[in-house]
Amino acid sequence: MSKRTTEDLENSDIIGATKAPFDRLGKKNGSLNEEKMGEFEDPWEDEYEEELIENAESDIEDEDVMEVEESAEQIYLPGQELDKDEILEADQSVYEMLHSLNVKWPCLSFDVLRDNLGEERKTYPAAVYIVAGTQADKPKNNELMVMHMSQLHKTQNDDDDSGKDSVDSDDETLDEDPILETKSLKHYGGVNRVRVMPQKDCHIAASWADTGKVLIWDLEPAIKSLETSSFQIPHKALKPLYTVESHSTEGFAMDWSGTVAGRLLTGDLHTHIYLTTKSQSTFIADRVPFVGHTSSVEDLQWSPSEKDVFASASADQTIRIWDTRNKKKDSLCVKAHNSDVNVISWNRKVNYLLASGSDDGVMSIWDLRTFLNNQTTPTPVATFKWHSAPITSIEWHPMEESVLGASGSDDQISIWDLAVEHDPEEGSHKIIGKGGVEVPPQLMFVHQGQNDIKEIHWHPQIPG
């Protein structure tokens, strides 16, 4: 990976939120106004006196105005306490696009569906297909939702009062509302996790149900019905293609192979990992598990380059490397964290790098080549303790080898660039957070404003 110093990023914003007094956001403040001017007071009564002292205090007033302007908007660092008259508001200048949507039920998991709209798209308005699984009030009310979000216009200039014209000719500062279209498939039981096969022109997805079953779906008819309003989803397509019943309990860990289409790994709370493989006409679920973990299997990742190799993360604090040809024992095992290893991500661009996130908020970056050295205990090449609560999701950027994102139970999404190196000569540019904690130079951005963030994903066809 090429390296960049913090000097390259000196003028960039890293925090996507600012502190603002309620009054700026329209809080009613009538009592305060009445104190400044009585209910029936003549507003011009003291005009003559004010003119006498205006020039004498002009310099002081200018200084006061500057102080008010400077204090009106401040960069907010996670962990800082807000005053009772302050709330967080998004700084639109650091988001090229920011839209939000609400759904009927909470969702623990979602995944991006590839489309035929082109690769590395950078123009607006954008369009995105995703699939998400619900956590409804009753098992029978759950759904697998296939969503099409369109007319997603650039929003970066929405809060810009400068009056400058947008340089994006694609958008032409259009301000139409985004469009959300949804097709739902009945799903008995809450959806713990959903994953889509990564191969192009394929919309096969798997869902981990809290009933202990893994359901495999063909989402192509649902997508077609979103693209063509007259198309009716066949009744057969409303049901799963196949149900994996190898597990004795529910789980969360799941991953499709990127090198061999149709190979699915699933891990459960009882330490077991099973492999399901697609045949010409159906799927075949193994009945013999991979055994080795001593606690819940939390996450699974196939190797991006070796078709028979995968990694697993567990609440037993270990990361293990496996070969599918040997189910009785892992090939390598490393005690990776001092608490549950919740999530892992295998770098698709640099296939010896693995990122992990734990229950104590620690993120670690591993060089898998050190796992092969039996003489020393592997240690991470980088460790970050920025999040103050469990890491809930972590994922490498699909196009930038040094960039990754993470989410935590502290209601943060953090974006990192490991190619950035600290320059000792730039010590005066350090940003210090709560309790004297230094903001790492590799931390590029922090998104806040959402609660209970469970999962994040980069779009494989839209770079940002």
pLDDT band for 377, please (50, 70, 90 cuts).
confident
Q: What is the pTM of this model?
A: 0.82
Percent of the chain with pLDDT over 90: 67
Q: Mean pLDDT throughout 230-253?
A: 96
Q: Mean pLDDT throughout 219-225?
A: 97
Answer yes or no: is pLDDT of 54 > 90: no
Answer yes or no: is pLDDT of 114 > 90: yes
From 26-30, 358-362, 384-388, 445-449, the region with the lowest mean pLDDT? 26-30
Answer yes or no: is pLDDT of 23 > 80: no
In this prediction, residue 449 carries a pLDDT of 87
Answer yes or no: is pLDDT of 390 > 50: yes
Answer yes or no: is pLDDT of 6 > 80: no
Answer yes or no: is pLDDT of 311 > 60: yes
In this prediction, residue 422 carries a pLDDT of 73
pLDDT band for 47, please (50, 70, 90 cuts).
very low
In this prediction, residue 86 carries a pLDDT of 80
In this prediction, residue 284 carries a pLDDT of 98
Q: Which residue has the higher pLDDT, 146 or 16?
A: 146
From 6-15, 71-80, 211-220, the region with the lowest mean pLDDT? 6-15
In this prediction, residue 428 carries a pLDDT of 56
Percent of the chain with pLDDT over 70: 77
Residue among 218, 214, 328 nearest 264 (CA): 214
Rounded to whole angstroms, the Cα distance separating 399 from 284 reads 33
Does residue 135 contact residue 191 with C-beta atoms inside 8 Å? yes
Q: Mean pLDDT throughout 237-246?
A: 97
Rounded to whole angstroms, the Cα distance separating 131 from 184 reads 10
Answer yes or no: is pLDDT of 252 > 90: yes
pLDDT in tens, 146-194: 999 999 999 987 554 444 444 444 545 456 899 999 999 999 999 999 9
In this prediction, residue 379 carries a pLDDT of 94
pLDDT band for 230, please (50, 70, 90 cuts).
very high
* Phi, psi at 169, each rounded to 5°: -70, -20
In this prediction, residue 161 carries a pLDDT of 47
CATH number of 97-160+170-245: 2.130.10.10
Which of 24-28, 64-68, 231-235, 256-260 has the highest average model confidence (pLDDT)? 256-260
In this prediction, residue 215 carries a pLDDT of 99
In this prediction, residue 250 carries a pLDDT of 98
Q: Mean pLDDT throughout 254-273?
A: 98
In this prediction, residue 11 carries a pLDDT of 43
Answer yes or no: is pLDDT of 293 > 90: yes
pLDDT band for 81, please (50, 70, 90 cuts).
confident
From 187-201, 286-300, 371-385, the region with the lowest mean pLDDT? 371-385
Which tokens sit at 16?
A: 């996507």
In this prediction, residue 26 carries a pLDDT of 31
Answer yes or no: is pLDDT of 312 > 60: yes
Q: Mean pLDDT throughout 219-237?
A: 94
For β-strands 443-447 and 412-417, DSSP reports them as antiparallel
Q: What angle do CA 193, 108, 442 make, to 5 degrees?
A: 95
Q: Mean pLDDT throughout 110-118?
A: 96
pLDDT band for 447, please (50, 70, 90 cuts).
very high
Question: Across all residues in the chain, what is the average pLDDT?
Answer: 84
Rounded to whole angstroms, the Cα distance separating 286 from 226 reads 35
Sorted by sequence, the CB contacts under 8 Å of residue 360 that are 6+ apart come out as 337, 338, 339, 390
From 5-14, 40-49, 350-359, the region with the lowest mean pLDDT? 40-49
Sequence spans of domains, the chain = 97-160+170-245
Q: Cis (ω within 30 of 0) for the bond into 240? A: no
Quick count: other Cβ atoms within 10 Å of Cβ 340?
20
3-state secondary structure string across the chain? CCCEEHHHHCCCCCECEEEEEHHHHCCCCHHHHHHHCCCCCCCCCCHHHHHHHHCCCHHHHHHHHHHHHHHHCEECCCCCCCCCCEEEEECHHHCCCCCCCCCCCCEEEEEEECCCCCCCCCCCCEEEEEEEEECCCCHHHCEEEEEEEEEECCCCCCCCCCCCCCCCCCCCCCCCCCEEEEEEEECCCCEEEEEECCCCCCCEEEEEECCCCEEEEECHHHHHHHHCCCCCCCHHHHCCCEEECCCCCCEEEEEECCCCCCEEEEEECCCCEEEEEECCCCEEECCCCECCCCCCEEEEEECCCCCCEEEEEECCCEEEEEECCCCCCCCEEEECCCCCEEEEEECCCCCCEEEEEECCCCEEEEEHHHHHCCCCCCCCCEEECCCCCCEEEEEECCCCCCEEEEEECCCEEEEEECCEECCHHHHHHCCECHHHCECCCCEEEEECCCCCCCCCCCCCCCCC
Q: Which amino acid is at 349?
A: K
